[in-house]
Amino acid sequence: MAADAGVIDLLGMLAYGELLAFDRMAADARLAPDLRRQALLAQMAAAEIGNYRRLADRLTALGVDPQDAMAPFTAALRTYHDNTEPADWPEALTKAYVGDGISDDFFREVARLVPTIALGDADRALVLDVLHHDDYAAFAAREIRACIAVEPGLADRLSMWARRLVGEALSQAQQVAQERATLTALLLDGAAGEAAEGLFRRLTSAHTARMTAVGLNN
C-alpha cells in the first residue's frame, strides 16, 4: 500500500524539524554559563538527531528519500530559526521550553486526531515517541526560574521573547499550511469532527499554562 502523501509530509516535516533542532540546539549550548549546562543542552541536541534517524529510516522503508520528504519544509523551518536566534542562555532556554512545548503539543494532537485510515498505529506511535521527554521541559523550566530569580527584570524580556517565538512559529506554520494542501487536509480532516477551533484553544491554553509555570506573561 502506498503511503498517504499527507503522512509522508508529516514524517518529513518532523524529520527536518529534528535535524534543524539538533543544529540550533548544539549551537545554543555555547551560550551556557558552564560546562555542566553546556553538556546538558548538547545531550538534548543529541536526542533530536536520534529521533531524526528513526524518522528517516521510516521514510526510507516507505520508499521515500528522506531528503525529498524534508525538502518542502526546509525554508519555513529555517526561517523560523533564523528569525529567533537566542542572544543569551535565558533566551536559548525559553526557546527550547516554549517552542518545543508548542510543537510537541501540536504533534500530539495530530497523532490523536488524524484518522487511523491515514496514519497507521506504528507511525502514530513513532510520532508520539519522537516528541520531547518531560525531563527536558523540566530542566528548561528550572533553569528559566533560576535565571529570573537572580535578575527579576528578565521576566519581562523573556515574556516578550516568548511572544516573538509564538508569532514567528504561527507565521511559518501558515506558510506551510498554504503550500502543503495534502498535509493540511490530513490535519483538518481529523480536526473537523470537533472543529479546528478546539485544537487551537487547547494549544493556546497549554502554552499559557507553561508560561505561567515559569513566571512569564502571555
Residue 87 φ then ψ, to 5° = -90, -20
Q: HSE, CB side, 13 Å, CA atoms: give it for residue 175.
A: 15
Cβ partners under 8 Å of residue 138, min gap 6: none
Q: Which is nearer to a second copy, 65 or 156 (CB)?
A: 65
| Minimum distance, C-beta of residue 165 to a second copy, in the bound complex (Å) | 22
Least distance from a second copy to the Cβ atom of residue 9, Å: 16
Please, which residue, 43 or 217, has the CB nearer to a second copy?
A: 43
C-alpha cell at 59: 521514510
Question: Quick one: CA dihedral 205, 207, 211, 216, positive or negative?
Answer: negative
Least distance to a second copy, CB of residue 46, Å: 4
- Give helix 66-83 / helix 5-28 axis angle, nearest 10°: 50
Footprint of a second copy (CB under 8 A)? 16, 19, 22-23, 26-27, 29-30, 34-36, 38-39, 42-43, 45-46, 49-50, 52-53, 56, 66-67, 70, 74
Nearer to a second copy, 67 or 205 (CB): 67
Question: 16 vs 107, which CB is nearer to a second copy?
Answer: 16
Distance, CA of 8 to CA of 114 (rounded, Å): 13
**Least Å distance between CB 72 and a second copy?**
12
